[in-house]
Structure formats: C-alpha cells, structure tokens
Amino acid sequence: MLDGTVLGEGVVVDARAASFAVRMLSGLIDAFAIYTLATLLILAASAVGLSTASERAGTAAVLVAVVFALVVLPVGVETLTRGYSLGKYALGIRIVRDDGGPIRFRQALVRGLLGVLELWMTAGGLAVVVTFFNSRGKRLGDIMAGTYALRTRSGGVRLTPLAMPPHLAGWARSADIRPLPAGYALAARQYLARAAALDPASRARLGQDLAARLEPFVAPGPPLGTPPDLFLAALLVERRERDYAAAVRAAQHAQARAAQVRRLPWGLRDDG
C-alpha cells in the first residue's frame, strides 16, 4: 500500500490507501447490511404480489427490490455522503478520486454497477483477486471509476498547536508577510509536526530548504542566525493570527452591514 502522498517539497502527507484487510471487513459489513435490507424488501415485494394475485406484479416488485438494494441504495449513499457507507464509516475509510477529491454520482454509479458483478455475482471473488494484486487495493469498480479507499482515521502523527518563539514575536508582528502558497504552508506545517522523528541530517536539510522557499515571502527576513524550525514556527503562527484577526474583522463588518440593511430608511416610521 502507499505510504502517503509526497508533495513537491518532499513532505509526505498522510493520505494512505486502506489495507486489504480493512477493505474486506468494511465490505462484509456493507454486504450484511445490504443482504438484510434486500431480504426484507423481497419479502415485502412477495407480499405485494400475493395481495394482488398477479405473478407478473410480484416478479416485477421483487426485481425492483433487488435493483434498489444492490445498486440504487449503495450508489445513493456514496453520492450523498461523498464516499462513505456503513462499513466504511465504521472502519474509518472513504472512497475518493485518484486525485484525492470527493467522488460524485458518476464514480459512485460505475462502482455500484460493477459491484453487482464483482461483489454479488461472483460472491466477492473477483473483487478479492483484483484488490489483492492492486497497489492501492482497488477493486474493478475503483479501477474503472478512478477511485480508491482512503484511510480517514489512522495512528499517524497528530498536529500539536504551534507556539510563537518569544524572541521572534516582535519581528513577526512588524514583518510584512505576503500570502503564502498553500503547498508551502502545508509542507512547513507537516515538517514541524514530524521534525522530532526525522533523522538529524534530513531534518536540517529539509528545514533549510523550506526556510529558503518561504523567506522571500517575508520582509524583512528573520534575525541573522535564526534556526529554520523557529523561523517556520514564527511565520506560521503569525500568519494564523493575522488570518484569524482578518476573519473577525470581516465577520464584524458583515454583521454591521446586516444591521444597517435591516434598519428602516431615514425619516420613515414603523407603525407596526
């Protein structure tokens, strides 16, 4: 399985595909839920056929129940939840596009239609074979739809809140910070979260590279001799504080404008 998505800055983002065992267990949970629902729907459809005393009506009702349980319901659930199902939610995985984005109706429909073949008509055998030999654990429906199962809950590194280095607070407050590219900011945040676990040589090399990439966006630069880790932490903390202050000001401005709009025009009376 993939260990993660590597950004251009050399930082691995925790976006690993779900393991074979997790996907199997998730599929079993979904299969049990769908089988139970299909059984109930078929019994209800059979009762409809008996009540109408029409064999064709009963057969049509059973067929509709099967199609709804095996195709319509799974496709609808994955579309509305953007890649989740009962089993996937329980196991902490989600179906996403190959580029990491949420799936849409088209991807869910391809997965649902091919799922009838590989999950139900072959009792899961075809899906197991294809998944076992695919590097991302994809079944046939995933290959055709361009999707894979992403781990949404893992034992990865938790991001701890960053703190402003005290001796850099004055410099950060007075510095002119241009908007940072999203990829660079994310890379710096991931690096600081994993810095303690990195090899010292790799840590120094990666920290210096990230600092060199981000320093052109700050004027004046950090005090001479500032370690890359402290520079990156101060930059991200100050950027966070400025973004928060800007968001607060925008919210206050929006509230003031809304209150102004709700007020009656000058000189008009509100007689109820």
Q: Give me the average pLDDT of each 10-residue run along the chain (272 residues).
A: 39 63 90 90 78 72 87 93 91 86 91 91 88 86 91 62 90 91 81 85 90 92 92 92 90 86 61 52
Short-list 45, 65, 64, CA closest to 55: 45
Give pLDDT, residue 215.
93
| Measured torsion, CA atoms of residues 124, 29, 106, 15, in degrees rounded to the nearest 10 | -100
Residue 105, both tokens: 């109706």
Determine the residue type at 167.
Answer: H
Give the pLDDT score at 13: 46
Angle between helices 20-52 and 125-132 (to 10 degrees): 160
Query: Does the global pTM surpass 0.75?
Result: no
pLDDT at position 11: 39
